[in-house]
Amino acid sequence: MPSKRDLDLLHVVAKAPPPVRLSSVRDRMRGEALDLMRVEKLADAAYSYRIVELDTPVTETLRLTGEILHAPWLLPASGQLTALACAVCTVGPRLEARVSELFGQKRASLALALDGLGNELLFAASRQVQDRVLADVRRRKLTMCGELRPGDPGLGLDAHAAVLRLAQADAIAVSLRGGHTLMPLKSASIVMGVGIDLPAASWSRCDHCPSRAKCRIVERAEAETAL
Amino acid sequence: MNPAQDFAIKIIGERINPGFKSTRALFDNQDLAGIQALAIKQAEAGARYQNVNIGAQALTDPQWMARVIEAIQEVVTTPLSFDFPSKAVQEICLSCYDPAKANGELPIVNSITEHRWDLMELYGRFKFKVIMMASERVENGKALGNKTAEQIYSTARRAALRLKNDYGMPLDDIFIDMSVSAIIADTEGLNRSTVEAIQAIGADPELKGVHMMGGLSNIGQQLPPKAADGSDLKHCLENAFLTLTVPHGFDYVLGTPWRGYAPLPEDHHVLKTYRNFLEQSGSNALRAVRKFYKA
């Protein structure tokens, strides 16, 4: 079960431009938040993932090692779905504790900047674990298709517990709190289809997002891709 | 992610290069899995080759470069192109490269020029294809930039035949890099020279089989994003260049595999303006450039 702690992602985030254009004040606060993270070592990014074979026959209700996931979107138009890659990543508990503390001290601007940086770190951790899964899948001469996260259209929030168990989230101390909230809060779980000759997914988990049309993160990602 | 190219062109994937911001982070962090994921994405988007450029680190940390090559070959079967001007670095790259992992396909050495011919000393010990830059020639022992179509064509011809006759290299293994310059300050007719040189090379029966290639990202540099007709100016300029040159044998683009290229119709604003631009020189050329984005 591949897992990794102490991911050094802070300098990745520090070098990257913020995901959305910031006012000069917010940009300054982001800089302060970065310094705070460095000095107080608030980032504790980690990931864990497993590629788990599916029981056969594969149906819309996917069964694997005793777990059941209803994820019909992951069924491919062609090829053979043979496994699911289940991953979880986190930026750790220290950051959110510090954000709460800052709010308590009525330093809301810095708290918000720190919280925003936490999101950036989580994106970076998520991308890193997905890259690792993709490389691992390819080394096994398999292909990958489709990405869902519990709570997306196509994978209910009630799948969270099973996904965490499958990803062995306890290895990086990520757990589920009542109401399907992840602890630490800045954590994410991912499910991806794995198999033989899977075609590229014709859908994205963002397709049905009501904010998609005006999403500046999507806009920037598309602009970067086009370069 | 896998747009069919509407041209008869193939793509040498360019993204494994710290010149791209998102890739630079992967190299700064020695993130091999991230580099592997990028290679997979390029392969899945249809890259015929993948260019590998790790920047200055190639000289200071050859072991890291070897790890990069091995890691890429672990996950994709696309043959690689090694983008380093140094013979020592190329030697390490060629030693690391395993043709068996690329279905027996040779790597590409990117690149030689008439002035930088020492890389060919590796040929024999290693088998490879080669990218030959036609943008400079040697005269009286000095490297000189080529500006006219005749100079570019003669350099390409001389080098290709030298590779064929002196080294026994099949013409199919030779890629002539036709440098495509930015139009924004092209008052010397460099674009026109490149287009005409491509026509001349394509028409030369002795060069039948060589490939012509180039990176297109320069062509639209520093221009506004939109053309006067509202189209994506940079992308349309790249397509305009290809519309004029692919019929004459320009068949490889060093580019982003998911960018997608398609011929422009004759009445397309950018193609018409590009044709007009190619006929201009000096300040007329600068005025012609304005017509791309000013109605």
CA distance B74 to chain A (A): 6
CA distance B211 to chain A (A): 25
C-alpha–C-alpha distance, residues B24 and A12, integer Å: 10
How many domains does chain B fold into? 1
**Chain B from 206 to 235: CB within 8 A of any A CB:** 217, 235
B75 and A CB contact within 8 Å: yes
Helix orientation angle between B190-203 and B233-245, rounded to the nearest 10 degrees: 30
Range of the domain at B212: 3-293
User: Measured between beta carbons, which residues in chain B are less than 8 angstroms from residue A128?
Assistant: 31, 33-34
* pLDDT per residue as tens digits for the range A50-98: 999 999 888 889 999 999 999 999 999 899 999 999 999 999 999 999 9
Minimal Cβ distance to A131: which of B1, B2, B33: B33
Write out the two tokens for B77: 């079967």
Residue to test with chain B: of A134, A142, A144, A217, most B Cβ within 10 A: A134
B37 and A CB contact within 8 Å: yes
Of B280, B202, B155, B244, whose CA–CA distance to B147 is shortest? B155
B254 and A CB contact within 8 Å: no
Measure CA B66 to chain center: 23
Looking up residue B170, the CATH number of its domain turns out to be: 3.20.20.20
pTM: 0.84
Sequential pLDDT tens for chain B (295 residues): 445 567 889 999 999 999 988 888 888 888 898 999 999 999 999 999 999 999 888 888 888 999 999 999 999 999 999 999 999 999 999 999 999 999 999 999 999 999 999 999 999 999 999 999 999 999 999 999 999 999 999 999 999 999 999 999 999 999 999 999 999 989 999 999 999 999 999 999 999 999 999 999 999 999 999 999 999 999 999 999 999 999 999 999 999 999 989 999 999 999 999 999 999 999 999 999 999 999 7
CB distance A132–B33 less than 8 Å?
yes
Q: Yes or no: say if B14 and B256 are a contact pair by the CB < 8 Å rule.
A: yes
Backbone angles phi, psi at B137, to 5 degrees: -130, 170
Domains, in order of start, for chain A? 45-92+122-226 (3.10.196.10)
C-alpha–C-alpha distance, residues B54 and B223, integer Å: 28
User: For position A226, what pLDDT does the model report?
Assistant: 56
Q: Yes or no: say if A152 and A158 are a contact pair by the CB < 8 Å rule.
A: no
Q: Which residue type, as a one-letter code, is found at position A184?
A: P
According to DSSP, the residues that pair with B205 across neighbouring strands are: none
- DSSP string across A13-30: HHHSPPSS---HHHHHHH
